[in-house]
Copies of this chain bind each other. A is one copy, B any other.
Amino acid sequence: MNQTCRVCGEAAAGYHFGAFTCEGCKSFFGRTYNNLSSISDCKNSNQCVINRKNRTSCKACRLRKCLMVGMSKSGSRYGRRSNWFKIHCLLQEQNGNNNNNNSAAAAAALQAGVLYQNAMIHHSFLGSAGGGHKQLKQGSVEDVRSTPDSMLDDGFYCKSVSPPNSEKESLSPPDSEKESVSPLFPNNIIFSPFLKPAVAADLGVFGRLPLLSSLAATREASAENQQQDEPIDLSVKTQPSALKQAPLDLSK
């Protein structure tokens, strides 16, 4: 596999729920996503730095890290992706062996695209079903996939998107007073400004949990710390508006 878990840093077992993760973080995300009530509040101001040793200590920060790196239950099942996706993904990874910056940017764009895609899916469901996040399987998947715009799951839609500012809300910025806390998000993970609507949509899913209320603030802070590395264009296959019209369930 020759990849590291984007959540804890351990050797990755594969590409799970939209990010390269280890078996532990994969199972954790799969369990926790459907049982958010089992998470207790962080006792460290939601600033825990997750690594292999302490990943089981704070479930709140572990799940937050999972979401930060783009994991989503409803999106990005590798097996269902088209050959175009697989080839693109592997190509980006192989290019990374020759150029580290491009690798990081490619990974960032990969995560960003998946995150945005999933966020749009979440957003669609929230707008129609009214907040239930366990009803994803009720979406008429086959109907959607039979529409003329059914190529949605074959590509990314992370470029030239005009973000809707309706759900943007001002959240308290993270306190930068503790000097002992290393930055939560390493520099090689890039979050572009156009991802803000995705963040807003994700918060719409998890917003009722106070422990995740600081996600948006952290994400915006990361966007401000954006590096000069340029995310690789993974091409745009369809209009993003199509995503909002037809809810898409990539799972099963």
Binding site for B on A (CB under 8 A): 40-41, 43-45, 48-49, 53-54, 57-58, 178, 180
Docked pose: A57 CA to B62 CA in angstroms: 14
User: How many Å from the CB of A51 to the closest CB on chain B?
Assistant: 9
User: How many copies of this chain?
Assistant: 2
Please measure, in the bound complex, the distance between the C-alpha atom of A178 and the C-alpha atom of B43, giving whole angstroms.
14
CA distance A49 to B40 in the complex (A): 15
Q: Are B58's CB and A40's CB within 8 A?
A: no
On whether the beta carbons of B54 and A57 are closer than 8 Å, the reply is no
How distant is A143 from chain B, measured CB to nearest CB, in Å? 46
Residue in B40, B41, B48 whose beta carbon sits within 8 Å of that of A43 in the complex: B48
**Residues of chain B contacted by A41 (CB below 8 angstroms):** 53
- Which chain B positions have C-beta within 8 A of A45? 180
In the bound complex, CA of A40 to CA of B54 (Å): 8
Bound complex: CA A41 to CA B54 (Å): 9
CA A158 – CA B108 in complex, angstroms?
Answer: 62
Return 14 A-B CB contacts under 8 Å, by A number.
A40-B53, A40-B54, A40-B57, A41-B53, A43-B44, A43-B48, A43-B49, A43-B54, A43-B57, A44-B44, A45-B180, A57-B57, A57-B58, A178-B178
Task: List the B residue with the shortest CB-CB distance to A43.
Answer: B54
Who on chain B is nearest to A53 by CB? B40
Contacts of A40 in B (CB 8 A): 53-54, 57
| A178 closest partner in B (C-beta) | B178
Q: How far apart are A92's CB and chain B's nearest CB, in angstroms?
A: 33
The CA-CA distance from A45 to B44 in the complex, in Å, is 11
| B-side contacts of A54, CB under 8 Å | 40, 43
CB distance from A48 to the nearest CB of B (A): 7
Tell me, rounded to whole Å, the shortest Cβ–Cβ distance linking A182 to chain B: 11
**Distance from A7 Cβ to chain B, minimum over Cβ atoms (Å):** 16
Say how far A64's CB is from chain B's closest CB, in angstroms: 15
Cα distance A180–B57 in the bound complex, in angstroms = 20
- In the assembled complex, the CB of A54 is this many whole angstroms from the nearest CB of chain B, namely 5
